[in-house]
Structures are given as structure tokens and as C-alpha cells.
Amino acid sequence: MRVTIKDVSRVSGVSIKTVSRVLNKERYVGVETRAKVEAAVAELNFRPSIAARSLAGKRSFQIALICDNPSPYYVYEMQSGIRDRCAQDGVRMIAQPYDRNAATLLDDIENLVDATHVDGLILTPPVSDHPQVLDLLERRGVRFVRVSPGSAVDLASSTFIDNERAARVMTAHLLELGHRRIGFIAGHPSYATSGQRMRGYARALGQEGLSLDPILVREGSYDFASGARAAEALLALDVPPTAIFASSDDMAAGVLTVAHRRGLAVPGQLSVAGFDDAALAGFVWPPLTTIRQPTREMAYQAADLLLAPADAPIERREVAFELIVRESTGPVAQG
């Protein structure tokens, strides 16, 4: 027979209401009492029904991820990190892809909130900076946490990495290898991270006494095709760059393909660097030097912030990045 909350109450020797409070992670339950309930839950292998928990309180025990990103790796890692945190509290994650340019975006998000009664939303770039979405959620009183916001950062809790510093570190790596003509492929301007990484690239050049040359900068869309197009333009210059830093690994993979097609040795004739440390970074040839963006950890922390008590203060959690040096970058060719 199915184990019920009544069985947990009987075995633990506390009331059903107290068991419910423990299961719902409510405050003001004594340590000893909480331990008794948790021991009974483990002994009985009790799995509380989300529907039953919802009926017992004001929560639905569901949160939603709002995502609009061209990288399947980013979306997968984001979902995985959120699921890892939700599993600890018995909360269900709803992953909802949206098109930020769709005329129905606001209606779609509002319909999701009304249909599921989610306890909150996690917003990823560029929706995390969408002013109409933020205004809608504030008006509706819906809790939300933002990933990598670029504006009004104190509006709600958020998780992020220091994108500007990360791009500065990568550019400095290429400068240390002797490169002075470094191409840069920026992300789509609707992403705040695109501008942050661009600033990091420019600042690193400035620290070496180099000015930013606009002809060496191309705009991409964080996907393979745009990276390849940008690489074609950069490598067709009368004086092409000796290194190209792309703002995502997907775009960097496009650069590698163009370099191979043109017969350029990487890194002998062209160094290539990316950003993210997506799975493909280790599969392409040569393996990519990149910035490891801990997407899963950012997602986990975002879910942790959203599942905190409703009266918890607004918090910005920075997650550390890492420079990963592989075979796609090397010293500038002499002569």
C-alpha cells in the first residue's frame, strides 16, 4: 500500500501538521522534531505527492525556467543545475523555451503563470533583461531570479560570472603569446554579456597600449553559423588577425572550420579561443582554449535563491570562471 503522511506522523510521533511543515521546509521546527520526521520519511521511503503538498499550503512546489538561447549545451546545463537543486526540496522544474522576439511573449509567460501557479521563475539571458517581462512579473507579484543580468541588477536576486574580467583574462592570454592583431567576435547585442565581454577585450588591449581596431570586431549570434561568417570576414582582410577570440565556443567552432577550409594551421598560423567550455570545446580539433563558464553551478545557485524563504533579502551570487588553455592557442608566428 502507498505510504501516506499519516504513516510518517505515526512513526515519528508528531502531528500531521508538523510533518507537513518539515516536508515543506518551513521555519520554526525544532531540530529534534525535524530529525524524527526525516528519519521516519527515510524508514518508510515516503515520497510526498506534489499535488497533496500544494493543497496543504499556498505553494505549487513548481518553478519554471524561461530560456531563449541558441546553445543546446547552455540550455542542458541550465536545466541540469536547476533540477539538482529542486530535487533536494521535492520541487518540480518546468523548462519553457520562448522566443524573445515573439509578439506573444508576455501573454505566453502570463499564461504559464496562471496555468501552473508556479512559485517563481528563473530568467536566463536575454529575457533576464527584458523590461516588459520584468515589469509584468513585478506587477503580478511573481518571484523571479535572474541569470547574468546587465541592468537594474538590484531588482531581484541573481547569479552571474564576471564576464568583463573573463574576457580580459582571455585577451591577456593571447597578448602574452605575442599576438597584437586579435580579432573579436561579439555576441548578439540583445545579450548584456555581449557588451561585457567586448569591454573586457577592449580593456585588455588598452592595458597593453593597444587601441581597439573596429575592423577586427565582428558581431555574431552565439551560434556556429555566425562564427563562421565572422571568421570569413576577418580572414579576408588585407592584414588578417593572428588570433581570433569568439564570445562562445559554438562561434569558435565556426572559426576553426573556416580556418581548416582555408588551409590555415591552428595554432601555427591562427590561434582560436572561445568562451563557455561547452562539451564541443574538447571534441573539436584542435581542442579549444576557452573560458569555463560554470553554467550548471549558476543554475543551481539561481534555484537555491528562488527556493529561499520569500522574505530572504535580494542577493547577487558571483560564480568563479576559469581560463582553460588547450591546443588551439599558441605563440604568434614569426616573420
List the chain pLDDT tens, one digit each, 335 residues. Answer: 677 878 888 898 988 888 877 877 776 788 899 899 989 888 888 876 554 554 445 677 899 999 887 788 889 999 999 999 999 888 999 988 888 788 889 999 999 888 888 999 999 999 999 999 999 999 999 999 999 999 989 999 999 999 999 999 999 999 999 999 999 999 999 999 999 999 999 999 999 999 999 999 999 999 999 999 999 999 999 999 999 999 999 999 999 999 999 999 999 999 999 999 999 999 999 999 999 999 999 999 999 999 998 889 999 999 999 999 999 999 998 76
- Within 10 angstroms of residue 49's Cβ, the number of other Cβ atoms is 14
Instruction: Identify the CA nearest to 328 among candidates 269, 271, 244.
Output: 271
Beta strands in 38-181 (DSSP E): 62-67, 92-97, 120-123, 144-147, 158-160
Instruction: Tell the residue number behind the cell numbers 518551513, with chain if given.
Output: 26
Question: What CA–CA distance (Å, rounded) separates 288 from 124?
Answer: 25
Phi first, then psi: give them for residue 127, nearest 5 degrees.
-65, -25
- Within 10 angstroms of residue 216's Cβ, the number of other Cβ atoms is 20
Determine the 3-state secondary structure of 160 from DSSP: strand
Q: Which three cell numbers stand for residue 86?
A: 529542486
The pTM of the full predicted model, rounded to 2 decimals, is: 0.82
